[in-house]
Amino acid sequence: MVVMNDRVTLHILDGDSARRAQLARLAFAAGHHAEIYASPDELLSHAPSGGLVLAHDSPPGEGVGRLIASMMRVGQWLPVIAISDAPGTDAVVQAIKAGALDYLPVPDAIAPLNDAINRATREAETHRAHRARAAEARQRIARLSLREREVLDRLADGCSNKAIARDLEISPRTVEIHRMKMMGKLGARHAAEAVRLRIEASGLDAA
């Protein structure tokens, strides 16, 4: 028995036209919608706002990483499932480290495709929530002056006001003033909340 999944849009990226067509047929048979692309540039030029990317990792261990890096540069993140004919351990590790949510052999049946879609959809929701928090934190931190940001950075390193004052060659009282302004701009009620915002903002680069 085939379990019906929620319908998703699969953005199929593959330089091989026959494989693209095969994957599109499989996606439609599984109850999904498919869009096909021959190159990363073609995908990025269409700027899809939703769905999942099913990308052939070519060359293995590098293709998907380059795609995700390009997506990040233009601020166009979509969940990516990497595929290849015979996934090697090194290629899988590199793709996952680059941000792929899954890596599987080129699917030729509905069940493994839907399993991968289900896993990626669940992980994507968590990833989106993380990125939303990170983006909000980065927007708040962008309001800080250079000195306020320096105070926040050292606060996150566990420095006291006196240590920050010595490091920045200013008085502890001046540190307190910058810290108070920084907290106000961040909307932080206490130091731990300000540090959490900084960590979340940094997470956008690692995501």
Same-domain pairing of 116 and 177: no
- DSSP state letters, 83-151: EESS--HHHHHHHHHHT-SEEEEPP-SHHHHHHHHHHHHHHHHHHHHHHHHHHHHHHHHTTS-HHHHHH
Pair 153, 168: CB distance under 8 Å: no
Task: State the pLDDT at residue 91.
Answer: 92
For residue 183, the enclosing domain spans 142-206
What are the pLDDT digits (tens) for 135-146?
Answer: 788 889 999 999
Give the pTM: 0.64
Task: State the pLDDT at residue 41.
Answer: 93
Check pLDDT > 80 for residue 112: yes
Same-domain pairing of 156 and 189: yes
Task: State the pLDDT at residue 203.
Answer: 62
Cα 193 from Cα 3, distance rounded (Å): 44
Question: What CATH number does the domain containing 153 carry?
Answer: 1.10.10.10
Task: State the pLDDT at residue 5.
Answer: 56
For the chain, what is the mean pLDDT? 89
Task: State the pLDDT at residue 4.
Answer: 45
